[in-house]
Amino acid sequence: MPVPQDRDAVERHLLRDTAYDTLCDAIVNGTLAPGETLHDGELCAWLGLSRTPVRGALARLEDEGLVQTAPQRFTRVTPLDEADAHALFPVVAALHALATELAVPRLLPEQLRRLRHENDLHAAALAARDASAAYAADDRFHGIFVTASGNPEIARALAHVAPRLQRLERLHRGTLPGRRALAQHEAIIARAAGGDAPGAATAARENWLTCGGLVERALAQQ
């Protein structure tokens, strides 16, 4: 069949993605605060876009759990809630454990070196109390296993929950992971280097559950 000539649909899609990216970043980093009411007119003026792509972006953010709507009542940023952390982190832990177990037999020497490098950056950021850098290094550390697993469905599932996860990590105002988390990273690396896929997977699961417990407790106290 001939290539469709309707560029309007493509343009609307691109504008919606632009609106989504900007709004998602603002929600994750707290520019749009948890519980903040969102008004279409204000968002359109801020983004310089019409209502259609903005509403499309809000619908996607609602599907991902970052926005809540009640027809004729409100559209707002989803409040931070310990129940969300309680539900989300075990799922993330299970996905990363599976990725790790699948990845260990496939890891290359260069990937093992990158794991150690990212863990060093993670440790340095924790020592400096730099939460943003610490979580970014942690994401890259676990991302090596996701890539090496060779399973695109794991990456797709994690990408869907990544904005909610990042927002919980960055806005919970609690303590950062400490010695226990670093010990778990060391266990993951050691077991992966030794070819112990189930052991590395167990350590990865424990690592994510440790982080989830810290976030959940911090949110319960806020």
Domain co-membership, 97 together with 60: no
| CATH code for the domain of 197 | 1.20.120.530
Q: Is residue 2 part of a domain?
A: no
Domain co-membership, 46 together with 99: no
Q: Is residue 1 part of a domain?
A: no
Q: Is residue 211 part of a domain?
A: yes
Domain that holds residue 144: 82-221
Domain co-membership, 43 together with 98: no
Task: Record the tokens describing residue 193, joined without a space.
Answer: 């280097």
pTM listed for this prediction? 0.88
Residue reference for tokens 């070196």:
113
Domain co-membership, 109 together with 217: yes
Domain co-membership, 61 together with 107: no
Rg over alpha carbons for the chain, rounded to the nearest Å, is 20
Q: Is residue 126 part of a domain?
A: yes
In this prediction, residue 67 has a pLDDT band, given cuts at 50, 70 and 90, of very high
Q: What's residue 78's pLDDT? A: 95
Domain co-membership, 49 together with 128: no
Domain co-membership, 103 together with 158: yes
Mean pLDDT score, 22-45: 95
Which has the minimum average pLDDT: 4-13, 27-36, 65-74, 117-126?
Answer: 4-13
Domain co-membership, 97 together with 50: no
Domain co-membership, 72 together with 88: no
Dist CA 84 CA 167 (whole Å): 11
Among 77, 110, 131, the domain boundary falls at 77
Q: Where does the chain have alpha helices with state H?
A: 7-28, 40-47, 51-63, 82-103, 109-127, 131-149, 152-171, 179-193, 197-221
pLDDT digits (tens, 9 = 90+) for 101-126: 999 999 999 999 999 999 999 999 99
* pLDDT of 10 higher than 50: no
Mean residue pLDDT across the chain: 92
pLDDT digits (tens, 9 = 90+) for 167-209: 999 888 888 888 888 999 999 999 999 999 999 999 999 999 9
Q: Is residue 208 part of a domain?
A: yes
Q: Is residue 207 part of a domain?
A: yes
Among 60, 77, 94, the domain boundary falls at 77
Among 77, 94, 111, the domain boundary falls at 77
Dist CA 64 CA 17 (whole Å): 14
Number of domains in the chain: 2
For the chain, give the percent of residues with pLDDT over 70: 94
Domain co-membership, 176 together with 204: yes
Mean pLDDT score, 75-91: 95
